Structures are given as structure tokens and as C-alpha cells.
Amino acid sequence: MTDTEAAVGVTHVVEDTMKMTGCGSCGMYMILEGAPGKSFVCMKCRLIELMEENIRGLEMQVESLVEFRKGFEQIMEQRHEVSEGKSSDLQMEAGLGNSEGRLGEESGQWKHVTKRTRQRKRRANEGKTELKNRFAELENEEGAQQVVTEGGRARKKRRAASPIGKGEELMEITPNMIPRRIQDGLKRITRENRNGKNLQPEGTGNRLENSTVTRKRLVYVIGDSLLRRIDRPVTRADPENRRVCCLPGAKIRDVDLRLKRILKGAGKNPLIILHVGTNDTARFLLESIKGEYARLGKTLKEIEAQVIFSGILPVPREGQQRCDKIMTINRWLRQWCYKEGFGMYGHWEAFMDRGQFSRDGLHLSREGNRLLGWRLAQLIKRALN
């Protein structure tokens, strides 16, 4: 028996086992292996039946929830009606009590007394109010002396609590003065003392003149255009003593030439953070960049300051060759800063995401600016502390 005859025999067997069968629910025909049952239902129809059963179950649950809500509303309405009936009964009892009280008062047996009726009767019994001069004692000599002594005691208490000088005296109260004049005179004297020059206690002026005001260290962040829009996170903690100097397109030599002019009036031992070198990696060789850093280091040593170099960021648009060159410079820069006594702070691993750069692949996006500003602010905080 040859191979072709065997293959033909297998195909006949397969054709005999495969039969076309129709679904009893949707009427679609399918080719199945073997003889299916009489009530054959396809998979899609089974899924539809399961879905219909689930929908019916959900409908039953919704109906039960609706019935429960109706029963709950009926119970609440019954309770509300019962509470309203009790309140109306209490009002009726109170009305009957008031009417009985009035009848008892008219007959003379007993009466219902409330707080308001007592007040009205008391006012009616008092009659007219008596007018009396409260300041009549000031006309007598004894009353005047008593007022003067009391005013002196109050004056001593105010002197102990107020910043008025010990040599200054308040206005004396005389028996002939009326209270309105006393109040006006006190107000005028306190107003003059507020506008005067000798409001400080004795000895405070000399203490302020002899003391020296300590000034905080100034912080300068100097670099190229990658420092755009980082002034807010950097200067937020101390806007008066922190400054960001952005030089678009600046190279290491440009920063070296402008450094002394930027730091004019920086004071003693300022903190300087330099972020520069990205533009040099695009035009100069590695040895030339090292020489520029060395010249910048000589200029920095002439200035008494704390110096920290910020590492060069990657440039996604230039490819792997430019990134390898920047990584080599960052490794050399770390060793050189350690040798020269400067600090070095790298950012390479923090800026590996392409979304932190703008479309040109060189400058930072808003997210990248926020990240760089936050990192530099944390660096300043650690360096000052």
C-alpha cells in the first residue's frame, strides 16, 4: 500500500466523522466532529442564556429593594404622624392650663405666674426711675481726694505695663475736672507718647547701637540656559540671599570671564554652584574642556567661597557618542573637584527619562526644570547646614 493510498483513506475517514449540524436556538450551521445530540446549542447562544439569567436575577433584586424602600417610607410616615399627634396633644393641654390659670386669677382662688408677668409687675411697682448724678462726689473734697488716690494707683499699674519712660508723668486729676476732660486728656497724652521718640525702655538704644547684625551667607547659582525657570524652587526658602544667574549659550570660558563681576558684593564666604559645560561638549575636545575647567578653578581659588560643580546633564538628541563623552567628563570632573577641594553633585541617573527634556532634546521641559530646581534647592540646604 503506497503513501498516497493511505492518505486518501485517512481523508475518507475524516470526512465520515465530520458532520454539519444546526443550532437549535439560532439556526446557525456548524461542522462538528462526531454525531451531536438532538438539542445542540452553540456557544454564543449559551452565553446569551447565561446573560439573560443574570439579568433576571438583577431585576428580582431591584424589585425587592423597591419594596423594602416603600415599606421603610410607610414606617417613617407612621412615626411622623404619631409624633405630630403627641405634640398637638401637649399644645392642647398647655392651652387648657393657661385658660384655667386665667380663670383662677379672675376668681381669686389661684393664678398661673410666669417669668414675664413677674417682670411686668416689678416694673409697674417701681414706677418712675430716679435720676442721680454719679459724679456728685467729685464736688466734695473727700471724694476728690479718693479719686486722686485711685487714679494714682491705676497710673502706677499702667506705667509698669507700658513702654513709656520713667521720667514722663501722666496728667494729674484735679477736683475741678469733670470725667469727660479727664478722658480727653489721657487720650491726648497717650497719642503724643506714641508719636514721640522716647518710647523704648532705658538702655535699649545703647544695646542696639553696640550689637552687630549677622548677615546670612549669599548663594549664587550660575550656569547656562539649562537654569531657566528654576529660580522659584531655588530662591523660595530665602529670596533675599539666593540668586540665580542664567547665561544662555554660555561656555566655561564665558563664566570664567564674568564670574568676578557677578560676585561683586557677595560678602564673606558665599556659596557658589556652577552648572556649565554642556555647550563645550558639542564643540571642543576632551583635553580642551579639561583646560577650561582648570582655568575656572584658578579664578575660583582667588575668591574665598564654597564652590560646588553641578554635573553635566545628558543630551538625548545627540546620540550615544555625545553621551559617552559627557559621562567621561563627569567622571574626570568628580576626581578633579576632589583634588582641588571643590564639591561635585551629579544628576545623570535622575535625568534618564526623555520626557524631562523638551522637543529639541537639549533644554529641559517644565517637569525637568522642576526636578533640577528641587535638586539644587536640596543641595543648597545641605551645604548651608
Q: What is the pLDDT of residues 322-379, one digit of tens each?
A: 889 999 999 999 999 999 999 999 999 899 888 889 988 889 999 999 999 999 999 9
The predicted pLDDT at position 199 comes to 45
Strand, helix or coil for residue 219: strand
| Residue 153: its H or E element | helix 141-161
> How far is the C-alpha of 341 from the C-alpha of 301, rounded, in Å?
10
**pLDDT (mean) for 314-323:** 86
Mean pLDDT value across residues 231-243: 92
pLDDT confidence of 1, banded at 50, 70, 90?
Answer: low
pLDDT at 111 over 90: no
Each residue's pLDDT tens digit, 261-310: 999 888 889 999 999 999 999 888 999 999 999 999 999 999 889 999 99
Reported in sequence order, the residue ranges of 213-318 that DSSP labels E, i.e. its strands, are: 219-223, 242-246, 271-275, 306-310
Q: What 8-state DSSP symbol labels residue 201? A: P
% of the chain with per-residue pLDDT over 70: 59
Global pTM reads 0.47
Q: Is the pLDDT of residue 13 over 50?
A: no
Q: Which residues 6+ apart lie within 8 Å of 225 measured at CB? A: 246, 247, 248, 249, 250, 363
What's the pLDDT score for residue 275?
95
pLDDT tens digits for 73-96? Answer: 889 888 888 887 776 666 666 665
> pLDDT by residue (tens digit) across 136-160?
655 555 555 565 566 666 666 666 6
